[in-house]
């Protein structure tokens, strides 16, 4: 098994995906472990005098920030913080997201500005490496003082509270510790706050969505190209010159993809009776391209975030400073997630419109893509299904980041709602996979009516694989299993 070592090197989204897909174990480099220990030692020495007051280290939290806590209660303070903040509700966070939360929390703590014990970070790594997944809930974070509630649930098992999935088996955290002979950790000053303050819930969702989005944008182009040929569309809108003069990066990239996907198509090269195509075909470079540009922006924001320190207060041993600020505030992520959700929803929006055009009985295609419409409803209702999902995505794409609600007696008077933006984006991309699966289902059916003409080698190769999973529909049949197989095919592309 490969090993990823956490050090001071930049962690890219691509690298995160490699770590996850390879099943690599994760460990701290010597330099990272040293940074963590130096910061902890500095904090311990700083607190020895008992004279200085630092938010969350020897005070209460939120609006209780002016309440000084006796030194002998500092450990209890941190444990109380974690337990009291574990108020998550709603559906459970998927296992793959929680594992990302663990990985990203360790990454953030490894920079040596958080004051945690080395043992705490190593225990989080033990959870990751031994496939121990804390049970975390989707709702409860305002994305303001970090992802307080979700990260509290992630942290409970460190000292034997809460529940975990231990290699897929649900047990109590106490049972998990006993099973391995691990002692529950005793949190020291600042540690609970370091664990709970931070954007790892939002970040984990965002990274997961982006890993999918970076693939789906190209898949959307490929499926769109199939639909263009199935609809006997023109390729003029994809010419290089007309797209270059628009000077939009995503548009230029999309047009290039379309030219590559349609190169060598007999259908595309035949003479056309129509002068132009509907926007859902003709404007693929402009619409897909705009989504690509938005996704790229989100990539940049999230890649910066996972290489950042986002808890509070922040400790600087080298300059003898402990600074209470707001790096936990999720606004950069919330706005990026909202934009990401809109970009993904639009990919689904235009996809459904192409599906709608394909079933309309135009350009030599039979109505609803069956040879005997009337007796057969054919592909009428798959378009309904796509339309319902697209409509839901439009609702989900309403920005979360423009909302705010006061909390903690007015101390936290502006919040990002980034956690809601994150879970919405997750749902939107799952819906996008469904919409693209239905477009592919329709386009593959439609292009069969263009035979014996062939599409391009790239598209024909994809169709061969597709037909191994989803057959041509001769007459009405139970469609849901075929749609499901089509969706799974999109996921596998």
Gyration radius (Cα) of the chain, Å: 26
Q: How many CB atoms lie within 10 A of CB 56?
A: 26
Helix axes 480-492, 418-447, angle to 10 degrees: 110
Of the candidates 109, 78, 105, the one whose C-alpha atom is nearest the C-alpha of residue 186 is 78
Alpha carbon separation from 208 to 9, 25, 153, 217 (Å, rounded): 21, 19, 20, 15
Active site residues: 55
Q: DSSP states of 346-370 as a string?
A: HHHHHHHHHHHHHTB--TTPPBTT-
CB 44 within 8 A of CB 21: no
Is 113 in contact with 143 (CB distance < 8 Å)?
A: no
How far does CA 91 lie from the centroid of its chain? 17
Nearest of 18, 12, 132 to residue 4 by alpha carbon: 18
Query: Please, are residues 434 and 388 in contact by the beta-carbon 8 Å criterion?
Result: no
How many C-beta atoms lie closer than 10 Å to residue 381's C-beta? 14
For 3, the enclosing helix (H) or strand (E) is strand 3-6
Among the listed residues 152, 150, 151, 182, the one whose alpha carbon sits nearest the alpha carbon of residue 166: 182
For the chain, first and last CA: distance in Å?
26
Sign of the torsion formed by the C-alpha atoms of 406, 411, 414 and 417:
negative
Q: Are 248 and 293 in contact (CB under 8 A)?
A: yes
284 contacts: CB under 8 Å, gap ≥ 6: 221, 224, 228, 237, 238, 254, 258, 350
What are the backbone dihedrals phi and psi of residue 186, each rounded to the nearest 5 degrees, phi first?
-105, 110
Partners of residue 92 on adjacent β-strands: 137
Helix axes 457-467 and 200-230, enclosed angle (nearest 10) = 110
Q: What are the CA-CA distances from residue 55 to residues 62, 174, 211, 305 (Å)?
A: 9, 31, 37, 23
Helix, strand or coil, per DSSP, at residue 221: helix
């Amino acid at each position: 098994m490969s090993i990823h070592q956490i050090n001071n090197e930049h962690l890219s989204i691509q690298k995160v995906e490699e770590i996850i897909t390879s099943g690599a174990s994760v460990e701290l480099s010597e330099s990272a472990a040293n940074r963590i220990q130096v910061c902890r030692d500095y904090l311990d020495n700083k607190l020895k005098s008992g004279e200085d007051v630092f938010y969350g280290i020897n005070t209460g939290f939120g609006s209780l920030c002016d309440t000084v806590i006796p030194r002998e209660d500092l450990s209890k303070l941190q444990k109380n913080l974690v337990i009291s903040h574990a108020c998550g509700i709603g559906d459970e966070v998927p296992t793959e997201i929680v594992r990302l939360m663990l990985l990203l929390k360790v990454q953030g703590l490894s920079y040596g500005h958080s004051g945690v014990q080395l043992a705490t970070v190593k225990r989080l790594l033990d959870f990751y490496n031994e496939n121990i997944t804390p049970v975390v809930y989707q709702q409860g974070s305002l994305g303001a003082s970090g992802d307080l509630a979700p990260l509290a649930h992630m942290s409970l098992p460190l000292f034997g509270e809460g529940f975990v999935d231990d290699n897929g088996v649900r047990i109590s955290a106490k049972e998990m510790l006993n099973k391995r002979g691990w002692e529950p950790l005793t949190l020291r000053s600042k540690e609970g706050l370091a664990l709970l303050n931070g954007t790892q819930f939002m970040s984990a969702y965002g990274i997961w969505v982006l890993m999918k989005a970076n693939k789906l944008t190209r898949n959307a182009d490929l499926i769109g190209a199939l639909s263009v040929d199935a609809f006997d569309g023109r390729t003029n809108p994809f010419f290089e010159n007309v797209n270059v003069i628009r000077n939009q990066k995503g548009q230029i990239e999309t047009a290039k993809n379309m030219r590559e996907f349609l190169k060598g198509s007999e259908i595309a090269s035949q003479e056309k009776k129509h002068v132009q195509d509907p926007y859902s075909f003709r404007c693929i470079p402009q619409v897909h391209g705009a989504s690509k540009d938005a996704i790229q922006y989100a990539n940049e924001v999230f890649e910066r975030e996972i290489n950042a320190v986002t808890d509070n207060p922040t400790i600087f041993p080298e300059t003898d400073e402990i600074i209470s600020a707001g790096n936990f505030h999720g606004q950069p992520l919330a706005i990026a997630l909202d934009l990401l959700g809109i970009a993904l929803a639009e990919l689904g929006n235009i996809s459904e419109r192409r599906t709608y055009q394909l079933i309309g009985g135009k350009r030599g295609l039979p109505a609803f893509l069956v040879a005997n419409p009337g007796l057969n409803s054919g592909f009428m209702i798959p378009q309904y299904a796509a339309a319902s999902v697209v409509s839901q995505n439009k609702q989900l794409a309403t920005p979360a980041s423009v909302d705010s609600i006061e909390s903690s007696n007015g101390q936290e008077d502006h919040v990002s709602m980034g956690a809601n933006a994150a879970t919405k984006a997750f749902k939107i991309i799952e819906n996008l996979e469904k919409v693209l699966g239905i477009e592919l289902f329709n386009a593959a059916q439609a292009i069969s009516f263009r035979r014996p003409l062939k599409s391009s080698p790239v598209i024909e190769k994809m169709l061969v694989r597709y037909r191994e999973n989803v057959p041509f529909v001769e007459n009405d049949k139970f469609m849901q299993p075929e749609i499901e197989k089509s969706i799974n095919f999109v996921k596998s592309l």
